[in-house]
Amino acid sequence: MKSVVNFFLNGKAQEKEVKPDATVLEMLRNSYELNGTKEGCGEGDCGACTVVIGEVFNGKIRYKPVAGCLYLAAKLEGKHLITIEGLSSGDNLHPIQKAVLEAHATQCGFCTPGVIMSLLSVYLEHDKPDAETFRRYLEGNLCRCTGYITIRQVPEYVGSLNIKSKDMRPAFLAATEEQQLKLASEDILTGNGKSEFFSPVSAESLRGFLSEKLKSGNLQGMTFINGGSDVVVGIKKMHRKYSLIVDLARIESLGKVEDSGEFISAGGNVTLSDLADGLKQSLPVLSRTILQMCSEQIRSNATIAGNIVNASPVADTVPVLMAMGAEIVLDGPGGTRIVPIREFYHGYKQTENKPEEWIQSVRIPKNRFNYINFEKVSKRREVDISSVNSAVALKISDGVITDAGVAYGGVAPFTVFMPETAASLTGREFCEETFRNAGDIAFDEARPISDVRGSAEYRKGLLKNLMIRHFIASESMLGEVIL
Amino acid sequence: MKTETMPQKSTEKEVKQVVVSSDSGAGANPVDAFVKSGKVGSSPSHLSGREHVTGRSQFIDDIPKPRNMLYVKVLTSPVAHGIVRELDCEEARKVPGVKAVLTYRDIPGENQIGAILPDETCLAEEHVHFVGEPVAVVAAETAEIAEEAMGKIRLNIEELTPVLTIDDAVAKNQFVGPIRKIERGNVDEMLKNSPHYLEGKVVNGGQEHFYLETQSALAIPEDSGAITIYSSTQNPNEIQRMASNVLGKPQSEVTVDVKRIGGGFGGKESQATSWASIAALAAHHTGLPCLCKLDREEDMISTGKRHVFESTYRVGFDDNGKILAFDVVLCSNAGAVADASTSILERAMLHADNIYNIDNIRVIGKPCRTNLHPATAFRGFGGPQGILVIETILEIIANKLKIDPFDIRLRNIYKEGDKAHYGEPVKNVRHMETILKKLRHDSDWDERKRKVAEFNAKNKYLKKGLGVAPVKFGISFTAAHLNQAGSLVHVYFDGSVSVSHGAIEMGQEVNTKIGQIAATTLGVPLSTVRVESTNTKRVANSSPTAASSGCDLNGQAVENAAMQIHERLTEFAKTLFNVSGVRFEDGMVYAGEAGKVNYAEPLISFNELIKKAYFQRVDLTAHGFYASPGIWFDREKGVGNPFLYFVYGAGVTEVTVDTLTGQTKLDYVRILHDSGQSLNPAVDIGQIYGAYIQAYGWATTEELVYSEGGKLLSNSPATYKIPTYGDVPTEFYAELFSGSTNELGVKRSKANGEPPFIYGESVLFAIADAIASTGKYPVNLSIPATPEKVWKEFCSEAG
């Protein structure tokens, strides 16, 4: 157990005591006077604070874009934090910087460092990135000047520079990677009694730590975090105070995605990004859902477990899990238990897990359904929170639906399983009429309210129409799918 | 005061007109010697580009913190309208680390920051008028302490019923300025006698600027009572004026300095004044440097936005769709204070005709006072709202009479020699017709229309639509006195050049363009020219960087100063070398006249000549000045010559709409735009891209949602959605119109910032077209055409 964080910053080793709730953005600007990383919104929605983090993954170092305003500095243990200042020295520009300049892809310049760091993470991880990859990595970088068009041209300018992909790597990476791979894992406890950050490397040590805490009192004011994309917004924007932040992200046993043939099991700290990549073949619907729900800067650290326990009524992964009848494996000082996700929510932001329980894994049955679809409607098509979302999971045999799961978000205080709508699909022919009818049932089965993301009337309409989209999505005529 | 332009070598006279397609990348921007040369008409890199891409560019919060700097937090009104019954700061003052807690009682000068009409307090007194209105100021050692102390201020407000809507304000006769009228012909008579008559209402929502750098100011006390303010503002002169007013100091004791700002779009034209004045007030009281930087939510709640307009119209037209009479009342929601609302409404009224000659026209403007945050300048400055009405009407008529959208516009278009409704001749409007016809051709409009109809016949739930939006945009501040600019140019002993002017660099690359102008005029490489921060000590009484005029006005002022130095050096060189003429180019001095220059053998380098000139005591500094000629406007009568010239152009948009959800997707955009002889084609194309996508956001996803009490609910990027990378279609083409020049613009160029915003209105018309394909012409569709609003149109029973 140690109280300092060891990490690399632009190639140089650092050892630092950090405040439990200090973010990377705050640390860079306040302690290092590295002001190239900008604050545009402070809640992970604009990308101006994008930094690249290098971390050990499957015995290698991989690099990912991260929203510096939501990433706690205490999470940096063993990581390599790369900022815009690390890309060039003096007048020698990195090829991406040159290309941005040549493409006229910078105007006011405020978003530019973030854009460049997102591009860097693409080039560090992809030899020949395609347009879809650039889109995936750049959707989280808001720019109000360029209309993105010149930014989209940057890869072609990079191409015209004829740079070998290894030369896209900052020179200091060779040395830091070697050192990173040698670092030993150790539990970290920082802060004082009023405010602590605990980052265990095993479930055993976490269980032990929490048991001790339970003995000496209660766990009020404690929160788990993984990516922290919800918790840190709470701390910074809603001024929530936590006496103890427990980071699950370094527990190795929570990091696996397994396919047992019967279940796909996603560990509690598997990032959304890894899940989207890992499930591309085995569960493409969830992969697509994840790629639609947020930016890469968030996906790179946020987890499906976080999406579940945050209990947002418009969480995007939850309808899919609910429709498919997934189960949540909870762990804690009292041992493990399994809860069906359909029974996990009790009210607005009320969940089944006890404060000291964390999600060990999510188990998704593989073979029960053979048609699964997710639909979401949001004001902006890309990287926006849903007004209404919905998933269906169906078993179709000989053109007849024999088993059905239906879930909707944004129509109740939490994501809801809709048994009547599901029942109305079961035993019916797989055709538009069936879904129209189910839409009518769904229309009556939920009572949405009005808020900033849509009126009750609109949500009612979507209850109905998303059922039709569930049908259309099955048709080969992809022309009928706008997204 | 127009100065002559330097004669140029024939190869450089041709200004390159680029066509850039969104996916053509490097190939479309030829990286040849001319492009790199930095001369006027070429496209050198952004002058601050190296700073931007390395993260070294300093915005306000990036300036190294001065010793003992304090963090300022502002307590703002939580209610839209009320009487302050209690404002007790005692507990807040006791928090350790707090250096000052200030209210309006602590203002040494006048509690007034309204620059056009004096109706805006710096800190609220007995009344509060909108949610987010500044009430009290805390300055403390850290932002956290300031935040904590702010929570200890006791503010009790007795709530009064707020006026939030235009209807309510009109009913209560609440306006921030006079109701104005522009009228020509006999509107009432003609409305009665027209073969067809229509009436209706056109509504548009507001828009948050969402500049990436939030409002920020750093005030540093100097000796002898002076103060320097570093502000993220488009208008340093106004801040100097208002901060000195608040502090009770002469303007000469207040310096405002701006290196660059992280986006403005109009949102920092007058809306930066408040925070700069507050920082200055805190610095004045504490004697310490004070930083006031809003976080995103504070910024979105407190600061001004684009005006909501609700405009009722009556129109008469003939069977061919020719408009015979047009009567419109433009009502803007100005919010709680006047800000620039009267000028914005004026520009809306002056653009109500757009490109159409309407003999009988009456435009009335009412700036409504409500209890919302002030509405303010935003790219287009009322132009988009004024143009939206007539363009919407033409769309409706075209649909009714089954006339093609291009045809109906061409049938109504101004001809050369026609006068606008306020009496100004619409000069060079012949280009508008050429542009429309070329765009129709280049966008394959007619074939595209056929394909869209085919798609719509085949697809049950997805519908496509097409739209076009043309623009005639008047260039000049309608407040004539603002059409002036100053500059200061030094040539140093080593030949390097320092340029100061009154415009603000905010991404529009005014500094790059002005650097090009200075380099071309002096005949030196762009790399030797440094464009300085904008500073009220170097250039006084500057106008805001607004109205697309930053480069037009300040570029001519710099050209004027550079020309003075150039003339002195020319005389000096002629005498020195005993030649009848000299030419300065790329840092070398050659003998000869235009067309007969001896390039083979330079006389001397520029740098060497400067050294000689210095020893001979030639003045190497010049102050330049420019005032636009012939501009006037009589507000009372509604007549005048308010604009120096017009910018023309048009844009076509194709969209796909999902009838089940109302979601829209951009498929295709093509724009043809008149930049005159472009100073920097890459910059101008970049402005077109940015303006269009910003307008696309306004037209579709950017929705300002308020609580019943008048508090902005969509107050963060989580709920207020500006366009993102994936919204931009692969097929996006912007081209500069090659047939235009402009004797009145700097180096024959045209202003470029605002006009392209109008093209985004074609998105709305394309969506309406998609809806109309189902046989239901939109009844209540308005900007922003959010998925919900579009969905409602498909649900409506109306045909």
Q: What one-character-per-residue DSSP string does B382-395 give?
A: THHHHHHHHHHHHH
Smallest CA–CA distance from A86 into chain B, residue: B54
CA distance A113 to chain B (A): 6
Query: Rounded mean pLDDT of chain B?
Result: 94
pLDDT in tens, B112-138: 999 999 999 999 999 999 999 999 999
Are residues A313 and A451 located together in one domain of the fold?
Answer: yes
Q: Count the neighbouring beta carbons within 10 Å of the beta carbon of residue A224.
A: 24
In a domain, A137, yes or no: yes
Please, what sign has the CA dihedral across residues A279, A281, A282, A286?
A: positive
In a domain, A239, yes or no: yes
A465 vs B22, B459, B661: nearest CB? B661
Find all residues with CB under 8 Å of B721, minimum gap 6, and list them: A378, A379, A380, A384, B697, B701, B702, B703
Where residue B758 falls among pLDDT bands split at 50, 70, 90? very high
CB-CB neighbors (< 8 A) of B464 in chain A = none
The amino acid at B190: M
Are residues A279 and A394 located together in one domain of the fold?
Answer: yes
**B469 burial via Cβ count (<10 Å: 0-12, 13-18, 19+):** buried
Contact A39 B61 (CB under 8 A): yes
Q: Count the neighbouring beta carbons within 10 Å of the beta carbon of residue B636.
A: 8
Structure tokens at B522: 């002096």
CATH number at residue A365: 3.30.465.10
Structure tokens at B245: 């007013």
Residue B36 C-alpha from the chain's centroid: 28
Q: Known catalytic residue: B754?
A: yes
d(CA B72, CA B379): 29
CB-CB neighbors (< 8 A) of A97 in chain B = 53-54
With contact defined as beta carbons under 8 Å apart, do B622 and B562 qualify? yes
Please, what sign has the CA dihedral across residues A20, A25, A27, A29?
A: negative
Backbone angles phi, psi at A219, to 5 degrees: -110, 25
Whether A36 contacts chain B with CB within 8 A = yes
Between β-strands A257-259 and A263-267, what pairing exists: parallel, antiparallel or unpaired? antiparallel
In a domain, A4, yes or no: no
Are residues A325 and A420 located together in one domain of the fold?
Answer: yes
Q: Count the neighbouring beta carbons within 10 Å of the beta carbon of residue A471.
A: 20
Q: Dihedral angle at the C-alpha atoms of A31, A36, A40, A42, nearest 10 degrees?
A: -30
The amino acid at A455: S
Contact A148 B723 (CB under 8 A): yes
Contact B46 A101 (CB under 8 A): yes
Are residues A278 and A142 located together in one domain of the fold?
Answer: no
In a domain, A77, yes or no: no
Contact A144 B212 (CB under 8 A): yes
Separation in Å, CA B199 to CA A325, B16, B349, B360 = 56, 46, 18, 16
CB-CB neighbors (< 8 A) of B57 in chain A = 109
Are residues A222 and A265 located together in one domain of the fold?
Answer: no
Are residues A192 and A118 located together in one domain of the fold?
Answer: no
Are residues A376 and A262 located together in one domain of the fold?
Answer: yes
Are residues A138 and A247 located together in one domain of the fold?
Answer: no
d(CA B408, CA A275): 54
d(CA A258, CA A363): 9
B716 vs A45, A108, A145: nearest CB? A45
ipTM of the complex: 0.96
- Closest by CA to B556, choosing from B742, B743, B751, B745, is B745
What are the boundaries of each domain within chain B?
34-57+484-627, 461-483+632-799
Are residues A233 and A151 located together in one domain of the fold?
Answer: no
Q: Which of A33, A144, A463 to mutate to test the interface with B (most CBs of B within 10 A)?
A: A144
With contact defined as beta carbons under 8 Å apart, do A364 and A321 qualify? yes
Are residues A241 and A293 located together in one domain of the fold?
Answer: no
In a domain, A267, yes or no: yes
CA distance B59 to chain A (A): 8
- DSSP label of A183: P
In a domain, A13, yes or no: no
- Of B433, B654, B754, B761, the active-site residue reads B754
Contact B25 A35 (CB under 8 A): no
Q: What is the pLDDT of residue B797?
A: 57
In a domain, A5, yes or no: no
Helix (H, G, I), strand (E, B) or coil at B649: strand
pLDDT in tens, B210-265: 999 999 999 999 999 999 999 999 999 999 999 999 999 999 999 999 999 999 99
CATH number at residue A125: 1.10.150.120
Query: Rounded mean pLDDT of chain A?
Result: 95
Q: What is the pLDDT of residue A25?
A: 98
Contact B461 A387 (CB under 8 A): no
Chain A from 164 to 183: CB within 8 A of any B CB: none
Is the pLDDT reported for residue B329 higher than 60?
Answer: yes
Structure tokens at A239: 């001024």
Are residues A289 and A356 located together in one domain of the fold?
Answer: yes
- DSSP label of B46: P
Whether A30 contacts chain B with CB within 8 A = no
Q: What is the pLDDT of residue A314?
A: 97
Cα-based angle B144, B147, B148 (whole degrees, multiple of 5): 85
DSSP A268-315: TT-BHHHHHHHTTTT-HHHHHHHHHHS-HHHHTT-BHHHHHHT--TT-
In a domain, A56, yes or no: no
Does residue B381 come out as left (phi exceeding 0), alpha (psi in the -120 to 50 range) or beta? left
pLDDT in tens, B656-679: 999 999 999 999 999 999 999 999
d(CA B361, CA B383): 17
Smallest CA–CA distance from A469 into chain B, residue: B660
Q: Which CATH number fits domain B34-57+484-627: 3.30.70.20, 3.40.50.2300, 3.30.365.10, 3.30.1330.60?
A: 3.30.365.10
Q: What is the pLDDT of residue B29?
A: 42
Residue bearing tokens 């029973």: B797
* Domain B461-483+632-799 grouped into CATH 3.30.365.10: yes
Q: What is the pLDDT of residue B32?
A: 58
Are residues A388 and A466 located together in one domain of the fold?
Answer: yes
Chain A from 239 to 278: CB within 8 A of any B CB: 239
Q: Which domain holds residue A296?
A: 255-480
Q: How much of chain A is helix, strand and coil, in % rounded to 5?
A: 35, 25, 40
* Domain total of chain A: 3
d(CA B777, CA B771): 6
pLDDT in tens, B261-320: 999 999 999 999 999 999 999 999 999 999 999 999 999 999 999 999 999 999 999 999
B34-57+484-627 and B461-483+632-799, same CATH topology: yes
CB-CB neighbors (< 8 A) of B265 in chain A = 144
